[in-house]
């Protein structure tokens, strides 16, 4: 990896620590221009990043990975936020003809037999393809440190998969996210009112509402040692 690139990320990370989320996003756009994209899963807190981009009037493309396993409510939420905030949405999906090979019906419910491999095909490889585009130099992600133990050291800026990754809300506590979404009347994900605090793919192996008192991401791959799909790791399938 280009050492200059890593040095640039380190400098920006230090600089961003003293800035607001608005200023971080604006500065990122000043530096990377239209090479800056946003990434979104249209999960529970997707409106936080998308509303910022809309409010700041930045021409930033938003990339969404269609895994083929999303809840219908997530696809409806995608449509709501996209039209409400006039998002320049780009959808990407795996072109592997056997992309659903790990999905099986068990007792009337869809389950995934190998979640690591399924995420590899349907998320990580798809992300690698759009991050590999020559017109993408940096990407924004909504990751926050208080979402889980595995995210507690999330930097504001670092290099991931060869591109500059910016997490403008890394230091935001969940309470501030909820307050922002409420104050700006950002539409709510339809599953939020059913107790889902982190919303990924629909198979039971992948998303369930967390039990009371558990952290917000504990319903993701519940009962499995897996805590990340790989999109936020330097992992390649
Ligand atoms: S979250 Fe589940 S269904 Fe979605 S890509 Fe990963 S393993 Fe497959």
Query: 108: phi > 0 → left, psi -120 to 50 → alpha, else beta; which?
Result: left
Evaluate: CB of 40 within 6 angstroms of ligand 1. no
Fold of 3-98+125-190: Rossmann fold (3.40.50)
Residue with more model confidence, 58 or 4:
58
pLDDT band at 106 (very low <50, low <70, confident <90, very high): confident
Task: Compute the distance between CA of residue 85 and CA of residue 3 in angstroms, rounded to an integer.
Answer: 37
Best residue among 196, 206, 217, 230 to mutate for probing ligand 1's pocket (most ligand atoms within 8 Å of CB) is 206
- Kindly report the pTM of this predicted structure: 0.92
SS3 111: strand
Q: What is the mean pLDDT of residues 129-152?
A: 93
- Measure 48 CA to ligand 1 centroid, in angstroms: 23
Split at pLDDT 50, 70, 90, the class of 80 is: very high
- Alpha-carbon distance of 141 to 167, in angstroms, equals 5
pLDDT, tens digit (0-9, with 9 covering 90-100), for 197-214: 888 899 888 887 766 666
pLDDT of amino acid 153:
92
Q: Is 127 in the pocket of ligand 1 (CB under 6 A)?
A: no
Active site residue 206: no
Q: How does pLDDT run across 168-201, given as a tens digit for each residue?
A: 999 999 999 999 999 999 999 999 998 888 888 9
Q: Give the residue carrying structure tokens 């790990």.
A: 102
pLDDT of residue 198: 82
pLDDT surpasses 80 at 141: yes
Interval 72-78 mean pLDDT: 97
- Give the pLDDT score at 234: 66
- pLDDT for 235 equals 55
pLDDT value for 210: 67
CA–CA distance, 47 with 81 (Å, rounded to integer): 7
The reported pLDDT for the residue numbered 90 is 98
Task: Give the pLDDT confidence score for residue 34 in this predicted structure.
Answer: 97
Q: What is the pLDDT of residue 237?
A: 53
Q: Which parts of 57-148 fold into alpha helices (H)?
A: 72-84, 115-119, 125-131
Ligand 1 atom closest to the Cα of residue 229 is 6
Buried b (16+ CB within 10 A) or exposed e, 127-143: bbebbeeeebbbbbbbb
pLDDT-based confidence at 226, cuts 50/70/90?
Answer: low
**25 Cβ contact list (under 8 Å, min separation 6):** 52, 53, 56, 58, 140, 166, 168
Can you give the pLDDT at residue 197? 82
Q: Where do the domains of the chain lie?
A: 3-98+125-190
> Which of 42, 96, 115, 233 for mutating ligand 1's site (highest number of atoms within 8 Å of CB)?
115
**Cβ neighbours for 103, distance < 8 A, ≥ 6 positions apart:** 69, 110, 111, 112, 113, 118, 203
Strand positions, DSSP E, 121-169: 138-140, 157-160, 163-166
Q: What is the distance between the alpha carbons of residues 113 and 46, in angstroms, rounded to a whole number?
A: 28
Q: Which atom of ligand 1 is nearest to the CA of 206?
A: 2
Which pLDDT score, from 0 to 100, does residue 132 have?
A: 95
Write the pLDDT tens digit of every residue in 21-66: 999 999 999 999 999 999 999 999 999 999 999 999 999 999 999 9
């Amino acid at each position: 990896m280009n050492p200059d690139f890593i040095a640039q990320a380190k400098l920006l990370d230090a600089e961003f620590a003293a800035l607001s989320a608005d200023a971080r996003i604006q500065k990122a756009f000043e530096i990377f221009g239209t090479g800056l994209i946003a990434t979104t899963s249209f999960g529970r807190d997707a409106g936080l990043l998308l509303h910022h981009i809309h409010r700041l009037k930045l021409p930033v493309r938003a990339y969404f990975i269609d895994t083929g396993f999303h809840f219908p409510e997530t696809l409806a939420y995608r449509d709501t936020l996209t039209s409400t905030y006039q998002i320049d949405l780009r959808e990407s999906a795996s072109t592997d003809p056997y992309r659903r090979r790990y999905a099986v019906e068990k007792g009337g419910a869809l389950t995934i037999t190998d979640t690591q491999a399924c995420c590899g095909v349907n998320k990580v490889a798809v992300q690698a393809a759009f991050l590999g585009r020559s017109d993408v130099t940096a990407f924004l992600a909504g990751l926050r440190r208080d979402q889980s133990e595995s995210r507690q050291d999330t930097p504001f800026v670092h290099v991931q998969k060869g591109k500059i990754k910016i997490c403008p809300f890394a230091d935001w506590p969940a309470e501030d996210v909820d307050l922002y979404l409420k104050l700006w009347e950002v539409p709510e994900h339809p599953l939020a009112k059913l107790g889902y605090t982190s919303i990924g793919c629909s198979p039971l192996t992948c998303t369930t509402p967390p039990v009371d008192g558990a952290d917000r991401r504990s319903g993701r791959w519940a009962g499995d040692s897996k805590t990340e799909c790989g999109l936020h790791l330097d992992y390649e399938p």
